[in-house]
């Protein structure tokens, strides 16, 4: 069973938002007291966070599908649904997040660095939040928005100060075991080391980490063998140490040819350019050369021959023996000096600045495009608001569909459809992909019998009827009394004028 995994494909899905509630409040002697449906809770998000206790991606190798908690539905009496919990996933320091196409999405370096992989959906509004003076009793609520889904690639790049590189069986594992407390597997066959090994070296007052990178072969930068997987772990290291085998028994190998092959592979490997730690080419980083296995007499003689050639190239050379610990102390102090100098010269990483990008004045927030698919044309509407409104609409409720039509009209979608050339009955698509909604467009009528109906969601049974104040009652009473007085005066005037005199019966 694998115990070290440095590349996995993770499928993350955010939690769904809870649906809004459509409810009408009941009170004694007041059966329809207005809407009181609460809003649904937001869904949780899937978040990657650098955890110092996590050193491998093994958990995602065994469980590659992650789903955050969903929000619960809203309830009556203005009660809001519970918010779904975020799913926090710990990843090792130095994890690179990529899309399936290889685009770098995030470079997680430093404890606490975070990246939101899948955002949770928004909860749907209840009918209490939708109510307005013109829509006093909505008989519907908005649906919760589904959480986003994303498939990403996680790659772990070892973060160390020094990287030991070289051919298989050059003695890298023996060397790191001799200068640190690391105990990697050591055997007399190639590719014993299949995963990087980390060790901590103490040289005087300086402490640094050393990575034993698995062996490289010619063509590693083109992916031969496991070259790309191995070279990935060299990108983060500031100092490179060539470990050359001076006691090899292979007839076509010698320390100088091994050195030239590894240098060519480092120069050919570009790595990721848009992330921290991957911009300095490997061939330009500080390098040392270690001539290993000088405890063998023939290897000591060969090391003496090639040492001058390497020093002519401006390289610092050390003759060591991992078996007898010969030359290890000068090597560790030289590495400590290089590491300290690299740390001093390293640029200070500035925190990411918050960039505000206000919406342009002429940005309507959506686009309407005429598209052709085979023999028929259709109009596609794309935008954050229209697409979210469509996802939150219950199309089995005519009132909810009418509410969506009103919102789109207020946003200006109908005017833009007219400007693009749409006519009644034209096919309109809102959104993109399998979640898109297709319908035949019927423009809103501005005159006619439609204008005689009340607004959607209105209910005459609960129309506001305010009780008259005492002053209004007194004024109404006085007006009524004055009208009675005037009527009596008019009757008396007619009586005095003889209009009520009976005619002479004779």
Q: What is the DSSP letter of 24?
A: B
pLDDT of residue 223: 44
Q: For residue 31, what pLDDT is reported?
A: 67
> 189-239 pLDDT, tens per residue?
444 455 667 778 888 888 888 887 775 655 444 444 444 556 666 777 788
pLDDT at 499: 66
Q: What's the token pair of residue 130? A: 């939708």
CA distance 150 to 427: 30
What per-residue confidence (pLDDT) applies to 450? 44
Contact criterion met (CB below 8 Å) for 430 and 440: no
Per-residue model confidence as pLDDT tens digits over 297-342: 888 888 888 888 888 888 888 888 888 888 888 888 988 888 888 8
Q: Does residue 393 surpass a pLDDT of 80? A: yes
Rounded CA separation 76/27 (Å): 13
pLDDT of 106 reads: 86
Average pLDDT over residues 120-130: 93
Q: Which distant-in-sequence residues (6+ apart) come within 8 Å of 362 by Cβ?
A: none
Write down the mean pLDDT value for the chain: 80
% pLDDT > 90, the chain: 19
The predicted-structure confidence for 67-94, as pLDDT tens digits, reads as follows 999 999 999 989 999 999 999 999 988 8
Helical residues (DSSP H) of 124-171, grouped into ranges: 127-130
Please report how many Cα atoms fall inside a 13 Å half-sphere around the Cα of residue 334, on the Cβ side.
17
**Choice among 6-10, 118-122, 147-151, 373-377 with the minimum mean pLDDT:** 373-377
pLDDT tens digit sequence for 257-300: 888 888 887 777 766 555 554 466 777 788 888 888 888 888 88
What is the pLDDT at residue 101? 86
At 432-479, the pLDDT tens digits run 888 888 888 887 765 444 444 455 555 554 555 567 788 888 888 888
Q: Which residues contact 69 (CB under 8 A, 6 or more apart)?
A: 15, 43, 44, 84, 85, 86, 87
Could you tell me the pLDDT band of residue 95, with boundaries at 50, 70 and 90? confident
b/e sequence 249-282, b meaning 16+ C-beta within 10 Å: eeeeebbeebbebbbebbeebebbeebebbeeeb
- The structure tokens listed for 428 are 């309109």
Q: Looking at the predicted structure, is the pLDDT value of residue 425 above 80?
A: yes
Q: How much is the pTM?
A: 0.68
Residue 478 structure tokens: 């006085």
CA-CA-CA-CA torsion sign (310, 312, 315, 321): positive
């Amino acid at each position: 069973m694998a115990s070290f995994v440095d590349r996995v494909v993770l499928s993350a899905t955010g939690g769904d938002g809870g649906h809004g509630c459509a409810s009408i409040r009941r009170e004694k002697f007041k059966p329809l007291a207005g809407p009181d449906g609460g809003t649904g809770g937001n869904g949780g998000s899937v978040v990657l966070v650098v955890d110092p206790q996590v050193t491998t991606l093994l958990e995602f190798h065994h469980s590659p599908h992650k789903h955050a908690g969903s929000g619960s539905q809203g309830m009556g009496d203005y009660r809001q649904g519970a918010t779904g919990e975020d799913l926090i996933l710990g990843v090792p320091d130095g994890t690179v997040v990529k899309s399936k196409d290889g685009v770098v999405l995030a470079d997680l370096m430093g404890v606490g660095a975070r990246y939101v992989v899948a955002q949770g959906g928004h909860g749907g509004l209840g009918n209490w939040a939708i109510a307005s003076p013109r829509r006093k009793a909505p008989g519907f609520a908005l649906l919760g928005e589904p959480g986003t889904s994303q498939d990403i690639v996680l790659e772990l790049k070892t973060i160390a100060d020094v990287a030991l590189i070289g051919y298989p069986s050059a003695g890298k594992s023996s060397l790191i075991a001799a200068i640190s407390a690391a105990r990697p597997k050591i055997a007399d066959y190639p590719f014993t080391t299949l995963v990087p090994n980390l060790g901590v070296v103490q040289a005087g007052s300086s402490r640094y980490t050393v990575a034993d990178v698995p062996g490289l072969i010619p063509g590693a930068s083109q992916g031969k063998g496991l070259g790309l997987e191995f070279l990935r772990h060299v990108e983060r290291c500031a100092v490179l140490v060539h470990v050359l085998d001076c006691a090899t028994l292979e007839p076509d190998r010698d320390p100088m040819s091994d050195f030239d092959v590894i240098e060519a592979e480092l120069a050919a490997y570009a790595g990721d350019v848009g992330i921290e730690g991957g911009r300095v080419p490997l061939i330009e980083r500080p390098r040392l050369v270690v001539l290993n296995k000088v405890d063998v007499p023939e290897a000591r003689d060969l090391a003496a021959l090639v040492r001058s050639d390497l020093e002519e190239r401006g390289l610092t050379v050390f003759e060591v023996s991992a078996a007898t610990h010969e030359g290890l102390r000068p090597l560790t102090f030289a590495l400590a000096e290089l590491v300290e100098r690299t740390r001093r010269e390293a640029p200070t990483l500035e925190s990411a600045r918050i960039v505000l990008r206000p919406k342009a004045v002429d940005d309507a927030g959506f686009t309407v495009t005429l598209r052709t698919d085979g023999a028929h044309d259709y109009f596609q509407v794309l935008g954050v608001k229209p697409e979210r409104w469509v996802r939150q609409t219950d199309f089995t409720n005519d009132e909810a569909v009418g509410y969506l039509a009103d919102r789109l009209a207020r946003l200006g979608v109908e005017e833009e459809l007219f400007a693009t050339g749409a006519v009644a009955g034209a096919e309109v698509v809102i959104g993109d992909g399998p979640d898109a909604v297709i319908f035949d467009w019927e423009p809103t009528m501005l005159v006619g019998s439609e204008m005689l109906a009340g607004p959607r969601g209105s209910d005459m049974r609960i129309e506001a009827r305010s009780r008259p104040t005492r002053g209004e009652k007194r004024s109404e009473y006085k007006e009524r009394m004055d009208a009675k007085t005037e009527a009596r005066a008019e009757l008396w005037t007619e009586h005095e004028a003889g209009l009520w005199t009976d005619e002479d019966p004779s």
